[in-house]
Amino acid sequence: MTENLVIVESPAKAKTIEKYLGKDFRVVSSFGHIRDLAKKNLGIDIKNNFSPEYEIPKEKAKVVAELRKAAAESKNVWIASDEDREGEAIAWHLVSVLKLNLPTTKRIVFHEITQDALAKAILNPRQVDMNLVNSQQARRILDRIVGFEISPVLWKKVQPALSAGRVQSVAVRLIVEREREIIAFKPESSFRINGIFRTDPDNTENNLIRAEAGKRFSDENDAARFLDVCSNSEFRVAGISVKPGTRSPAPPFTTSTLQQEAYRKLGFSVSQTMTVAQKLYEAGKITYMRTDSTNLSKLALAKSREVILSEFGEKYSRTRQFKTKSKGAQEAHEAIRPAYLNSFTITGSQNEKKLYELIWKRTIAS
């Protein structure tokens, strides 16, 4: 009989974790969700407080059978799916399908796949968080109701094979409203006046001062009269003020800022960025890539300082602790960062190397 069985949702993640945990642990994968809403009658009992009705898809039957067998042959079952609502729902479905005891089943979470993070998780198991599970169930039910009810309307009114969704339907509404505002907008012309002044007869770039009039003119004749006045006038510099400029680094990456920067600098689409980041996370090279926090742990800050002192010197070392401004952000989670900050480069595909370098530079700069 196996002493410890650890269930994760990804086979790549399972291989990485098993290397760290050792021979007393067997790590297997659920290959994502093992249950979904039934296809019949929306899979939702609307009259009974929108209760979901789940079924195991045919393609998951073999995986579920293998997991049941592995769980029956193990003394301890640990569920290590991701610490977001999808991961929590996977954990809850595993407990239900494998007939595990919910209060005693060991649920472990970690933000990076490293020896220290896994050891800490094993020492601090918790129960399945039903608040996160219910959040995921509500989202899934809404997806099903909106998609199944509105998509047929699109097929009839627009074209076949289109789909409506809980988020995209609202987004399309916002886009349409904005487009109507643009169409209804009536542009008004105005005239802007810019001046170039010489400080001495030498017409060099260093002797030129550029300025813009603080007022714009709606009438061309008014603008012309103003120019006539200016052409016969003398101007002088009333005063010069010199102020120091400061430029702060951008905070560490959240999911959304990583997607934006990867598109801007690397040309990656959102889905491409998340696919590459998922591979980096499962290989133990970066922390969890779905986060809205800009927070870094004290250990990560200390390691960053060590790298900066070693590579660039004391002059460039200044520890900052960013706080997430968005409401509801989970500060207990970390921003996206390298798992090992002293690893400047990694092995992998070109896209993995590019995205890792982007994350490493942003973390060190912040």
Tell me which residues are annotated as active site. 288
d(CA 334, CA 293): 6
Residues 6+ away with beta carbon under 8 Å from 84? 132, 290
Burial 3-39 (b: 16+ CB within 10 A, else e): ebbbbbbbeebbebbbebbeeebbbbbbbebbbbbbe
d(CA 304, CA 339): 11
Q: One-letter amino acid identity for 27?
A: V
Q: Please give the helix or strand (H or E) that residue 123 lies within, else none.
A: helix 115-123
Angle between helices 298-311 and 350-365 (to 10 degrees): 90
d(CA 113, CA 82): 11
Q: Are strands 36-37 and 25-29 parallel, antiparallel or unpaired?
A: unpaired
Q: Which residue in this structure is represented by tokens 């010197």?
A: 313
DSSP per residue, 294-358: ----HHHHHHHHHHHHHHT-GGG---------STT--TTSPPB-BSSTT-----S-HHHHHHHHH
